[in-house]
Structure formats: C-alpha cells, structure tokens
Chains A and B, each alone.
Chain A
Amino acid sequence: MIVIEARGLSKAFGATIALDGVDLRVEEGRILGIIGPNGAGKTTALNAILGLTSHQGELRVLGRDPWAERDRLMRDVCFIADVAVLPRWMRVSQALDFVAGVHPRFDRAKAEDLLTKTTIKHSSKIRHLSKGMVAQLHLALVMAIDAKLLVLDEPTLGLDILFRKQFYDSLLNDYFDRSRTILVTTHQVEELQHILTDLMFIDRGRIVLNCSMEEFESRYVEVMVHPGQIGTARALKPMNEREVFGRSILLFDRRVNKDVDKNIDRQLLAALGEVRTPSIADLFVAVVGNQSGNAQGAAQ
C-alpha cells in the first residue's frame, strides 16, 4: 500500500521557495529519514503531509488530501512536530483523559504501561517535567495510538544522548512493525543510520537523493586510500575527498552509469585501500556540499 504520494509538491512563502516540485512515494512499512540543512524545506514538506499548510501540486496521504481532511486523517496519522509542544498547563492524567476522549484508536492501557517505565507521575503538571520527560510522555501518547503513519520532526532536539537512545529504541522495539510507516527528520543523523529503511536528502526545496538503505550500502563506498594509490583512485572520479590524519578518504558512487555492469567494482576499490560503508553524514556532505559548491560556482 502506498502511504504517501506526492507529485510536483510545491510551496512558496512570498519570494522564498520552500518546496520546488517534490515527487515522493512512500510505501507501507518503511522508516524514511529525511535529511537536509536548515531551511531546506523538510518541515514544510512534513507540514504539507500533515495538513498543517496549504500547497501546490498533488498530494495524497493514505488516499486523502491532508489539507482538506486533516481531522479525519489524524485518526490514522500521528505526529510529534517539535519537542515540548504539549500544553504546559496540563496534568499528565488530563493529557491521557483528553487523548482517550477524542481519539478512537488510543489504547490508554498501553500508554499507562509505557509511562510506568518512566519516572513521570500522573499528577504532575507538564510544566514541571523536564524536557526529556515531556518527550517521553509525548512518545508514550503517540505510541499508544494505533496509527498507520507516524511523523517525527526533530523529535529529540535538545535531549541528552541517553534520552535520544531510549527514544529510538523504544520506537523500534515497542512500536514499529511492518504495517506501520515512520517519517523522521533529524540533525542527529548518525543515531538514525541503523534504524532507517529509506533515506532522502533534501536541499533548497528539492530532493537530491532518494534511496533505500540496501541501495545506500551497496552503492556508496568510502575508501581510505593507500598513499601510493591516490592517483589511481582519483581517476575513478570520487564524489568527495577529505583528509583525516594525513590519510585521504575518497567517497565513491559505484553506480557511475545506469548500466549495472559498468559499476565500479568493489574488488577494484578494495585494492586501493580500506573499504567501508560511509556514514549518512559523510554522504550528506558529499551530496549536498557538492551541490552548494556547484551552485556557488555557477553564481560566480
């Protein structure tokens, strides 16, 4: 089943173009990470998907137009749009009561169960909880909702590393199954690498990379080149080159051609130095950094 389908999704704020004709297709059971620099249009894209902002172009989420049917869509979609948006005046018990009251798919027992694993008390006011506890509470509320799509926009911003780890562990172990779909944006890319099934880079309102994690692992290779081999390695046209402790690290896109047979052979690269899978962050720098370099060059 297709959860999200967008064609030519665009949005402009005055003269600023936030989304520039994005085509997107997300299938059921995926965990898609959307990575991009600040102001790249990530949040705008998510807001359009959640029916929080109007847009141009075609967009269907679970077969519905989010802008026209936000309230109906929210029975099947959950989101954490930011850290600490829970109303500060509310008590934890009131938050549970309210969500249980208005949400037909909320399992209160499950939320209570998740909360017993934390130090959050039912009688506490949200204003008296720490930032990490608010995130835990919000996650407990969201995880107790039997939704088809969960959207997380910087859900762990400003949380310490223990909370962040717990957050994603809990999400994977207690929530995710193959019938759900998760969309997540974050700047802490490295923490996400092992949980994603799909990866998307977005820059200046456009998708600059969109692949599954299997494809990512087979296609992109990082080589710490032996000093003597640097010339040969550079001849293979790496995407990016950087130096760490005097050693050159070259990042290759093995698929230089649409034809699979013409891929750069892994064995060939292994002969040049130590081969490994790049981190998402390094690939991001190679893809987005190059693009902005090109753009700057073009501007000059």
Chain B
Amino acid sequence: MNAQSNAMAESSIQSQGTTPAAVLAARAMYWSVRREIWENRSVYIAPLAAAAIFLFGFAISMLAMRRDIAGSQLGPAQQRDLLNARYELSAALIMGTALIVGIFYSLDALYGERRDRSILFWKSLPVSDLTTVLSKLTIPLVILPLLSFAISLVTQFLMLVLSSVILAGSGVNIAALWTGVSFFRVSMVLLYHLLTVHGLYYAPIYGWLLMVSAWAPRAPFIWAFLPPFVIAVVEKVALNTSHFLELLRERLVGSQGDGMASHHAPQDFTASLIPHHFFSTPGLWTGLTLAALFLFVAVRLRRYRGPI
C-alpha cells in the first residue's frame, strides 16, 4: 500500500512540469516535417515551376486557337472537351514532376545526412529514428500529393481565367466555359487519385528508396535501380519471362481492372471512383505490407548508421 502510494506520488511529480509524451512526439514529428521542407525546397518549387511553364504554354496555345477559330463557332461541348483535356494534361504534368521530386528526395533523405555528417547533430536531439524516418516518408506520401493537388487546382482555375480573357471577343461563348465546367468533378477525381495512388499505391516504392538511402555506403541511386534491373534480366535469361518487370510496370502505371486511375485515360477517372474497389485490390495490401517492411528496416538501419 505504502509502496504503491509512493509510486503514485512519484509519477505525479514526474508529470508535473513535463509535457505529455504524446504532445512531445507530435511536436517532434511536426518540426521534422517542416525541417524536411526547409531543406528540400524543390518539394514546392518544382511543381510550381512546372505549373508556371504549363500556363505559359497554355496561354500561347489559346492565342493560336483564337486566331484559328476566329470565324467558326465552337460548340459548348467542344469548348468543354478542349479545356478538360488541358486540365488533365496540366494535372499529369504537375503530378509527374512531383513523382520525380519524390523519387530523388527519398533517395537522398537518409543518405545526405550521413554524407554531410549532420546526422551527428540530428541524433543529438531527442527525436527517435522512427520519427525521423516517418517524417521523411511524409514528404512523398502526403505533402507532395496535397501540394500537387493545391497547385493543380490553382493552375486549372488560372487556365479558365486565361482562356476566358484570351477567347473573349473571338465569338466563343465564354459563359459556356464557366457554366459547363467539370472543374469540381475533375478536382475531386484528382484528389482521390493523388491520395490513393500516390499516397498508398506508391508507398512500397518510396519505402524501398528510403531503405536504400539509409543503407547505401555511396551512390544510392545505383543501389536503388540496379537490383530491380538485375532481377528482371536474370528472370528473362533463366525463365524467359518478365513477371517482375510487369509487376513493376503495373505498380507504376497501373493496369486495367485494378481500380487504379491511369494518367493517360481521363475517361476512366470516374469509373475508378469506387473506393471499395480500390481497397479490395490485393496488390494494394501486398504493397503496403512491403512498404512497412522496408520502413522497419530503414528505421533499424538509421540507428546503426553514422556519418560516412
């Protein structure tokens, strides 16, 4: 009884003046993610640059179009199709940029801190290896998709404004551009696609890259891409099949029937908007299991790794 009350008194003393562990963990996570964005400004600069370049190209194409259609009338349906196709294209460009940024970011994330010896500083702070690895995973899995979505949304709105301004007075019915907008629908499909495909379906890819980046003694790029290449070649030579390559291709671009929206077939976007279909794909769960495994190894590796 006495010992118990002593223990209770002790724990109440400890809790006084100290922040709860959950709050500390959340703060460490929040600042670690911010730190990643400070260090890797390409995370937002690259998609923004892609959007700016696309808008520039779009403005030029609209000017050319204004000249072409000066006389002939474009029907509202044609106008909508015209803009919709460009929406998809702009989104694809921004997402593609984000994907490339995510890949290179992940490859450098746990390698760069060892190369520049700053790992000694990070490890001198009360941030666990798990928090660090998860904060680095957050960038390609959450931050980049959400950022791509926001940038795409703004880009598409600017496209609408630009096309209205440029096509004004050319005889095209501008109102039809605005009233017939599938703007909202396209955005939702885009957000869904970003969160499911980029966030969940690509998770094992980013997990693999992070693991290699935690392990590689040098040249993480080669260590990340050589093993899959060798496996594919060996499989081809030994069995004359290419299941592994097909698996990778499916993971990256998607195949029909797995509920994944493909970048190149915008018409399928709506069809893919059936969550239960997506979440019942066995490939998704195999991928997530694999991702968890890669991340577990990455966390363990970071504990053992020092500067190189």
Q: Is A74 an interface residue (CB 8 A)?
A: yes
Q: Is B24 an interface residue (CB 8 A)?
A: yes
User: Which residues of A sit under 8 angstroms from B27, Cβ to Cβ?
Assistant: 101-102
CB pair A99–B125 under 8 Å, yes or no, is: yes
State A75–B304 Cα separation when bound (angstroms).
Answer: 20
User: Which residues of B sit under 8 angstroms from A104, Cβ to Cβ?
Assistant: 18-19, 24, 126
Instruction: Name A74's contact: one of B32, B39, B126 (CB within 8 Å).
Output: B126
User: Which residues of B sit under 8 angstroms from A80, Cβ to Cβ?
Assistant: 124
Q: Is A82 an interface residue (CB 8 A)?
A: yes
State A290–B129 Cα separation when bound (angstroms).
Answer: 44
User: Which residues of A sit under 8 angstroms from B24, Cβ to Cβ?
Assistant: 104
Tell me the chain B residues, 93-142 only, with Cβ under 8 Å from chain A.
113, 116-121, 123-129, 131
Q: Report which residue of B24, B117, B120, B127 has the largest number of chain A beta carbons within 10 angstroms of its beta carbon.
A: B120
Q: Is A53 an interface residue (CB 8 A)?
A: yes
CB pair B125–A74 under 8 Å, yes or no, is: yes
Q: Is B245 an interface residue (CB 8 A)?
A: no
Q: Report which residue of B27, B117, B131, B306 has the largest number of chain A beta carbons within 10 angstroms of its beta carbon.
A: B117
CB pair A78–B124 under 8 Å, yes or no, is: yes
CB pair B38–A53 under 8 Å, yes or no, is: no
Q: Report which residue of A52, A54, A79, A94 has the largest number of chain B beta carbons within 10 angstroms of its beta carbon.
A: A52
State A236–B30 Cα separation when bound (angstroms).
Answer: 67
Number of A residues near B (Cβ < 8 Å) is 33
User: Which residues of A sit under 8 angstroms from B18, Cβ to Cβ?
Assistant: 104
User: Which residues of A sit under 8 angstroms from B118, Cβ to Cβ?
Assistant: 85-88
User: Which residues of B sit under 8 angstroms from A24, Cβ to Cβ?
Assistant: none
CB pair A71–B39 under 8 Å, yes or no, is: no
CB pair A53–B306 under 8 Å, yes or no, is: yes
Q: Is B31 an interface residue (CB 8 A)?
A: yes
User: Which residues of A sit under 8 angstroms from B117, Cβ to Cβ?
Assistant: 82, 84-85
Number of B residues near A (Cβ < 8 Å) is 31
Q: Is A70 an interface residue (CB 8 A)?
A: yes
Q: Which secondary structure characterizes the binding site on chain A?
A: loop
Q: Is A89 an interface residue (CB 8 A)?
A: yes
Query: What's the least CB distance linking B278 to chain A, in Å?
Result: 36
Q: Is A72 an interface residue (CB 8 A)?
A: yes
CB pair A89–B39 under 8 Å, yes or no, is: yes
State A82–B117 Cα separation when bound (angstroms).
Answer: 9
CB pair A74–B124 under 8 Å, yes or no, is: yes
Nearest chain A residue, comparing its CB with the CB of B19: A104
Nearest chain B residue, comparing its CB with the CB of A68: B303
In the complex with contacts A53-B306, A81-B120, A102-B39 CB distance below 8 A? no
Query: What's the least CB distance linking B111 to chain A, in Å?
Result: 14
State A145–B186 Cα separation when bound (angstroms).
Answer: 51
Nearest chain A residue, comparing its CB with the CB of B132: A71
Tell me the chain B residues, 255-280 only, with Cβ under 8 Å from chain A.
none
CB pair A103–B121 under 8 Å, yes or no, is: no
CB pair B39–A87 under 8 Å, yes or no, is: yes
In the complex with contacts A86-B118, A104-B19, A70-B123 CB distance below 8 A? yes
Instruction: Name A98's contact: one of B19, B35, B116, B119 (CB within 8 Å).
Output: B35
CB pair B120–A85 under 8 Å, yes or no, is: yes
User: Which residues of A sit under 8 angstroms from B304, Cβ to Cβ?
Assistant: 54
State A101–B31 Cα separation when bound (angstroms).
Answer: 6
Tell me the chain B residues, 17-62 only, with Cβ under 8 Å from chain A.
18-19, 24, 27-28, 30-32, 34-35, 38-39
Tell me the chain A residues, 106-147 only, with Cβ under 8 Å from chain B.
138
In the complex with contacts A54-B304, A71-B128, A94-B38, A87-B121 CB distance below 8 A? yes
In the complex with contacts A71-B126, A74-B125, A75-B126, A102-B31 CB distance below 8 A? yes
Query: What's the least CB distance linking A53 to chain B, in Å?
Result: 7
Q: Is A90 an interface residue (CB 8 A)?
A: yes
In the complex with contacts A102-B27, A104-B19, A72-B126 CB distance below 8 A? yes
User: Which residues of B sit under 8 angstroms from A103, Cβ to Cβ?
Assistant: 125-126
Interface residues of B (CB under 8 A from A): 18-19, 24, 27-28, 30-32, 34-35, 38-39, 113, 116-121, 123-129, 131, 303-304, 306-307
Sampled A-B contacts (22; CB under 8 Å): A51-B123, A53-B306, A70-B128, A71-B131, A74-B123, A74-B125, A78-B124, A79-B124, A82-B117, A85-B120, A87-B118, A88-B118, A90-B39, A94-B38, A98-B35, A101-B27, A102-B28, A102-B31, A102-B125, A103-B126, A104-B19, A104-B126
The 4 A-B pairs at the shortest CB distance, nearest first, are namely A101-B31, A71-B128, A87-B118, A74-B126
Known: A74-B123, A78-B124, A104-B24. 10 other contacts (CB 8 A): A50-B124, A54-B304, A70-B128, A74-B125, A85-B120, A85-B307, A88-B118, A101-B34, A102-B27, A102-B31
